[in-house]
Chains A and B, each alone.
Chain A
Amino acid sequence: MTLYLLLTVNSITFGGLLFLLAAGFSLIFGLMRIPNLTHGSLFMLGAYFGATFVGGYLSLTFNFWIAALMATVLVAAFGTVIERLFLRQLPGQPMAQVLVTLGISFIVADFCLMVWGGDPVRVATPPGLSGYVHYGPLVFPHYRLAVIAIAVVIAVALWLLLDRTRLGAMIRAGVDDPDMARVVGIRVSQLFTIVFALGAGLAAFAGMIGAPILSVYPGLDQDMLPLALVVVILGGTGSLLGSFVGSIVIGFIYNFGQALLPELSYFVLFLPMLIVLIVRPQGLFGRFVP
């Protein structure tokens, strides 16, 4: 029983992290119609940048949250560069755009290996959150609970952005029908840049928030990308609610699978995706079939 409760908290924490990663992936996919295969790399890059700012590898050391913010801004800028410099060169060729993102992900992975080496980089839990909550026989780290809170706050903020603002309305219009959105005067290509930067920033933020739990290591990108992919296939592209539900479901399956079926954990992870593909190809809350 204790084990299951502990696994449940871990699952929700991991689901929250996945949501931060997958929300951007899903928005980019929904608007630009391409799965951004650099998304795992952006997550890893954010974590490495943040670890560098916190760990005093530079002569300055920063507070954890400031470091997370700086990493977010840096990677968002990098996302803007990818979109403007590379994807913009291939308008209307989704296949080529996907391959370019794949190429960039290899470059980023090797760059990280060159700069930060092959050993895992550990990030300390931010001060003030290193304690534990005791509840009967159970012990929950403060930090994991904080991650859940952060994910919920960002989910609400994203929902407000998409549902209550003019920009959000334009993004939703672009997701539903890009051609019609252009006709009514929305500059969809400008939205591409904004959404790509937003998604990149969210991924980097998730990387830094996840770093104290997962630590940062080469191959983190290839561990996270399939998870984001599965969440989005499960939840449906371009849907915030879909990403949220998908993330929590995958968070549970991932943690319980690792604990109960370690040898087949990957297989179990991808099963719901296959079922959804067969029964409901647009995903649980998706608006279109990719």
Chain B
Amino acid sequence: MSGVRLIGFAVTFVALVTLPYWMPGDYYLNVSSQILYYAIFALGLNILAGYAGLVSLGHAGLFGIAAYTTGYMLQQGFGHPAAIIGALIMGMASMALYAVLSLRATGIGFIMITLALGEIIWGLAYRWTSITGGDNGINLHGRPHPFGTAIDTPASFYYTTLTVFLLSVAIMMVFVRSPLGAALMGTRDQPRRMNALGYHVWAIRFWACMFSGLLTAVSGILFVYYTQFISPQAVDLTSSAEVLLMVISGGAGTLLGPIVGAALVIVVKSVVSGFIERWNMLLGAIFVFIVILMPEGLVPGSARLWRLVSRKSRLRRDLKAEAKR
């Protein structure tokens, strides 16, 4: 890692850890918590959409399953640890089912199957009222007390989310550099060649799905504890598209991209919702804009623009020097 990047990481880390001390007011602290758990979600989707080349439009369904399981088990009188473990197990089991069904295809076929699966889960959340409460959703009461500390205040919840977030980022950094990560990118770029080299392409994709499902379930649990409420709205196609927008806008297949994308989408959403009631039109417009004009995302896109500009100015300087001579 180069010196500049190391300093950048250190500054960001210090800023994140000290955030409750310099952020003005609880509102912004809560927005920061939201950004962090959505960033975990986006990191999870990025494993598939970015590193595996498999765009999923049904991830909000998995997110919702983890959140609904937490809510339902708490409602049935289970304790927080049991609810969290149950949600992780349900999330992973659903992801395994998702993967078995959708990995029959890649590309467009994968999009269609995941979209349909997401719609099934939405339909279940909306219609299966005896479990999910239908449109009324499930309300939670209280947050867990990990290691005997209450996380009911915005600052303490922020630190919990931050811990999970940093852990997720660390795991992602290891994953990307690991042989499995390299093999996954290989199956994205050259699946047939990877197959010929003796890699089990399907198994690699399957484990990538499971990893993605784990991060998605974790963010779903954080989400339901943050909002204390889960309804079908969190599971619908718009939610899946929002997370995909975070990944694509930041830069799919980069470590930093989804995090920047999550921050961008949540900030825009919070700011915009202060002015107009709905933000779907803006969401759609940003989608179209990014896909057509900056398909590689903001992080690599601005890096490219920056290189282009600096190279042009250097070229111009060189030409001027040439002309003077």
Interface residues of A (CB under 8 A from B): 33-35, 86, 89-90, 93-96, 98-100, 102-111, 113-114, 222, 226, 229-230, 233, 262-267, 269-270, 273-274, 277-278, 281, 289-290
Contact = CB atoms under 8 A, between A and B. Distances in A.
Contacts of A289: 105, 109
Given A99-B248, A229-B115, A267-B124, A110 B280 contact: yes
Given A96-B292, A99-B244, A103-B283, 5 more contacts: A94-B107, A226-B115, A264-B128, A266-B124, A281-B109
A113 B119 CA distance: 22
Interface stretch (B1-9, B32-40, B185-193, B235-243): B235-243
Interface string B220-252: 000000000000000011100100100010000
Contact of B127 (A109, A110, A264, A290): A264
Given A106-B281, A110-B278, A226-B115, A33 B108 contact: yes
A117 to B, nearest CB: 12
Interface in B194-238: 236-238
B236 A222 contact: yes
A263 B127 contact: yes
Interface in B130-157: 130
B281 A107 contact: yes
B258 to A, nearest CB: 16
Contacts of A229: 112, 115-116, 119
B197 to A, nearest CB: 24
Contacts of A34: 108
Contacts of A98: 108, 111
A100 B287 contact: yes
Given A222-B236, A289-B105, A86 B120 contact: no
A155 B281 CA distance: 35
Give the one of B55, B123, B283, B295 with max A CB within 10 A.
B123
A111 B280 CA distance: 9
- Please indicate which of the listed interface residues B57, B112, B237 has the most CB atoms of chain A within 10 Å of its own CB: B112
Contacts of B291: 90, 96, 99-100, 103
B114 to A, nearest CB: 11
B285 interface: yes
B67 to A, nearest CB: 18
A115 B273 CA distance: 19
Interface of B: 55, 57, 101, 104-105, 107-109, 111-113, 115-117, 119-120, 122-124, 126-130, 236-238, 241, 244, 248, 278, 280-281, 283-288, 291-292, 295
Contacts of A107: 280-281, 284-285, 288
Nearest to B102: A277
A84 to B, nearest CB: 13
B104 A269 contact: no
Nearest to A273: B116
Contacts of B116: 226, 229-230, 233, 270, 273
Main secondary structure of the interface of B (DSSP, over half): helix
Nearest to B277: A113
Contacts of B122: 266
The residue in A99, A107, A270, A289 that gathers the most chain B C-beta atoms within 10 A of its C-beta is: A99
B288 A104 contact: yes
A113 B108 contact: no
B300 to A, nearest CB: 15
A273 B120 CA distance: 11
B280 A109 contact: yes
A277 B113 contact: yes
A266 B123 contact: yes
Contacts of A274: 101
Nearest to A105: B284
A98 to B, nearest CB: 6
A94 B120 contact: no
B241 A266 contact: no
A90 B294 CA distance: 12
A266 B248 contact: no
B104 A277 contact: yes
A222 B108 contact: no
Contact of A267 (B120, B285, B288): B120
Contact of A102 (B107, B108, B287): B287
B63 to A, nearest CB: 18
Given A111-B281, A267-B123, A290 B108 contact: yes
